[in-house]
Chain A
Amino acid sequence: SQQGEEDPQALSIQEGENATMNCSYKTSINNLQWYRQNSGRGLVHLILIRSNEREKHSGRLRVTLDTSKKSSSLLITASRAADTASYFCATEGYGNNRLAFGKGNQVVVIP
């Protein structure tokens, strides 16, 4: 299985602080993706990092990937109350056309 596992499971921070989440996986991957889920809603794709990339940015998001350690991190800078959500990592293997999702990180940003 390529299921990602996020760490920590729950995070509570003050608005304006940075939030960091980690994800580990077990086998080789084509890419790793991060998704956000607001309460009661479907998942929303945030960012994708390919296996040959080490770092990627999108707005206030920064993702790193260390394939030697089979791990990734998602950093949200200058957090806002609207960032309160669950965050999932998902890995895509080679040629299997499916994603393996982790169990999710719940982030609460306190105004």
Chain B
Amino acid sequence: DAGITQSPRHKVTETGTPVTLRCHQTENHRYMYWYRQDPGHGLRLIHYSYGVKDTDKGEVSDGYSVSRSKTEDFLLTLESATSSQTSVYFCAIRRGADTDTQYFGPGTRLTVL
């Protein structure tokens, strides 16, 4: 357990509504990541952060934005949710000093109707 929590753990929403997922860490790590996991695709990186206010895009960033105003919190926002964004979302932190060993939160299951 790397002190990572995600909220909410489950959410059902409707197409076109905004959704924000929260990742919270208690260990003051610099790097944080958001992934989505879908059957047949494994884990795909959405966005990541390398410090407060420092973020970068991953391979599937379209339709998502992120913010990191505090070290401990990394927010993922779907500005206008679509059914294709139905997925399980995982947050992770990097713990290794010289390697990108990542520790994952419990996940958020999002359903967009």
Chain A residues packing against B (C-beta within 8 Å): 1, 3, 30-31, 33, 40-45, 48, 50, 88, 90, 92, 97-104
Q: Given A41-B106, A43-B43, do A97 and B90 touch, yes or no (CB 8 Å)?
A: no
Contacts of A50 in B (CB 8 A): 99
Asked if B101 contacts A33 (CB within 8 A), the reply is yes
The binding surface of chain A is classed by DSSP as: strand
The binding surface of chain B is classed by DSSP as: strand
Contact bitstring B99-113, A, C-beta under 8 A = 1, else 0: 111111111000000
What 5 A-B pairs have minimum CB-CB distances, sorted nearest first?
A42-B104, A103-B42, A101-B43, A43-B104, A92-B100
Asked if A97 contacts B43 (CB within 8 A), the reply is no
Q: Does chain A have a CB within 8 A of B48?
A: yes
Chain B residues packing against A (C-beta within 8 Å): 4, 31, 33, 35, 40-45, 48, 50, 58-59, 90, 92, 94, 99-107
Contacts of A101 in B (CB 8 A): 35, 42-44
Asked if B107 contacts A41 (CB within 8 A), the reply is yes
CA distance A40 to B43 in the complex (A): 14
In the complex, how many residue pairs between chain A and chain B have their CB atoms under 8 Å apart?
Answer: 57
* Closest A residue by C-beta to B38: A103
> Counting chain B CB atoms within 10 Å of each CB, which of A88, A90, A99 scores highest?
A99
CA distance A101 to B4 in the complex (A): 20
Asked if A99 contacts B31 (CB within 8 A), the reply is no
